[in-house]
Amino acid sequence: MRYRALVAFPIAFALLTAIVVSFAPAASHDLVFQIAIDAAKLFALIGLSRAALAFEPGEYLRRGWGLFAFCYVLLLARDAALFLPAAPLTIEIVRAVFVTLANVCLVTAVWTLARAWTVAGLEFPGTPATRRAVVAAAIVAAVLLAGPELYIDVRDTITGKSPGYGSIGSDIGDILALPLIAPVAMTALAVRGGLLRWTWMLLASSFGAWLAFDLFTTLPELFAVPLAPFQFLAAEFHLLAVSLACAAGFAQGLTISDETDHGV
Amino acid sequence: MSDPGAATVAERIGSQLARYLGPHTARVAVKTFAQRGLGRGPETLTVADVPAMSQALRPMLRTLVGKQRAEVVLQQILREFGL
């Protein structure tokens, strides 16, 4: 029941936010989403810290989950920097530093988590050719979905259309981290039927939601499509991605804690 | 020719691991670590091999579920065989 509740939480949170947004005046939609996403980041920080602290100091996955949690400390600090009593350019630089550091943490964390299976001495399911094909597909998807956004942000920064240093760091982080969805998804597939499946399934779903977020962010930049529905979908998948990471952290903590001997 | 009793040892170890790793990976883990730790296939395992198997499985379990939970699982494996 507790694992199923963890799966239900991100979906319920995203649905609840969508309902609130649908009843709120159009001018406040961004604010509602921002509050929901910041709340989700705070929950993710707690969930991922729970996962890290379930392992003892020096254990392999403590480093991965710990770095993942620290990424959310930096992302929350980036958001809090908006309230600094400083010039807009200074705030933008501070935010860019935080988001770049957060992405370094994220890429390292995801790399660490993605390698857990190999570090444990196990092989992923499927033939080597199948595994290579899955990794190649994930790389192509990450480049196709996050690449255009990087191009647009670099172009806008160079032309001075908008200061996008933080966005560039985030885009590079996406391109490096999102292909790692492949080993995470293969781990989830490998542990199907076991308690660890909840953690790895939720983590893989989180990365899947990030891919969808990139898709809905990029499409309006490339094609003449109505902006509002895509902004709504991008915000919903942003919320889902962060909430799913939170749930994955709690699932990892549950699996390791003594309380998990009863109930799914 | 395989010994049905020995195959049961591998299956019984696997069933303890399956709770966390799932049945597929549990079977793969028993096979992998029987070969790495004991230099033999899982079909050759006997009850006398169980302590050595639990030693061989320990690093893998510690990586995936942490030291405390790994020790609980290994104790469950030993208890399964009355060890």
3-state secondary structure of A258: helix
What is the rounded average pLDDT for all residues in chain B?
90
Tokens matching residue A34: 């921002």
SS3 annotation, B23-59: HHHHHHHHHHHHHHHHCCCHHHCCHHHHHHHHHHHHH
Instruction: Please tell me the predicted confidence (pLDDT) of residue A102.
Output: 92
- Higher-pLDDT residue of A147, B11: B11
3-state SS assignment for residue A262: coil
**Cα distance between the two ends of chain B:** 27
Would you place residue B2 in the very low, low, confident or very high pLDDT band (cuts 50, 70, 90)? very low
Instruction: Give the mean pLDDT of chain A.
Output: 89
Residue of A nearest to B28 (CA): A122
pLDDT interval class at A127 (50, 70, 90): confident
Asked if B28's CB is within 8 angstroms of A196's CB, the reply is: no
pLDDT tens string A167-195? 788 888 888 888 888 889 999 999 999 99
Q: Please, which pLDDT band fits residue A72 given cuts at 50, 70 and 90?
A: very high
Helices (H) and strands (E) in chain B, counts: 2, 0
Spatial contact of B26 and B18, defined as CB atoms under 8 Å apart: yes
Q: How do residues B16-30 score in pLDDT, each as one tens digit?
A: 999 999 999 999 999
With beta carbons under 8 A apart, name residues in chain A contacting B31. Answer: none
A64 vs A111, A115, A142, A164, A247, CA distance in Å?
8, 10, 21, 28, 16
Residue B5 has a pLDDT of: 47
* Position A33 pLDDT exceeds 70: yes
Q: What is the pLDDT of residue B1?
A: 44
**Residue B6 pLDDT > 50, yes or no?**
no
**Cα–Cα distance for residue pair A147/A149, rounded to 1 Å:** 5
CB contact under 8 A, B67 and A59: yes
Chain A positions in Cβ-Cβ contact with residue B36 (cut-off 8 Å): 121
Q: Which residue of A has its CA nearest to B18?
A: A194
pLDDT score of A262 more than 50 = no
Distance CA A189, CA B28 (A): 13
In angstroms, the separation between the Cα of residue A83 and the nearest Cα of chain B is: 40
Q: pLDDT digit string (tens) for A208-217?
A: 999 899 889 8
The confidence band for A56, taking pLDDT boundaries of 50, 70 and 90, is very high
- pLDDT band of residue A263 (cuts 50, 70, 90) is very low
The pLDDT assigned to A1 comes to: 61
Which residue did the predictor score with more confidence, A56 or A260?
A56
- CB crowding A114-133: b at 16 or more within 10 Å, else e: bbbbeebebebbeeeeebee
Q: Do B22 and A61 touch (CB under 8 A)?
A: no
pLDDT at B7: 52
Rounded distance, CA B46 to CA B1, Å?
15
The torsion region of residue A257 among left (phi > 0), alpha (psi -120 to 50) and beta comes to: beta
| Amino acid (one-letter) located at A157 | T
ipTM above 0.90, yes or no: no
What confidence tens digit (pLDDT) does each residue in B28-83 have?
999 999 999 999 999 999 999 999 999 999 999 999 999 999 999 999 999 999 88
Interchain pair B18, A193: CB under 8 A: yes
When pLDDT is cut at 50, 70 and 90, the band that residue A151 belongs to is confident
A124 vs B contacts (CB less than 8 Å): none
Digit-coded pLDDT (tens) for A74-94: 999 998 988 888 888 888 888
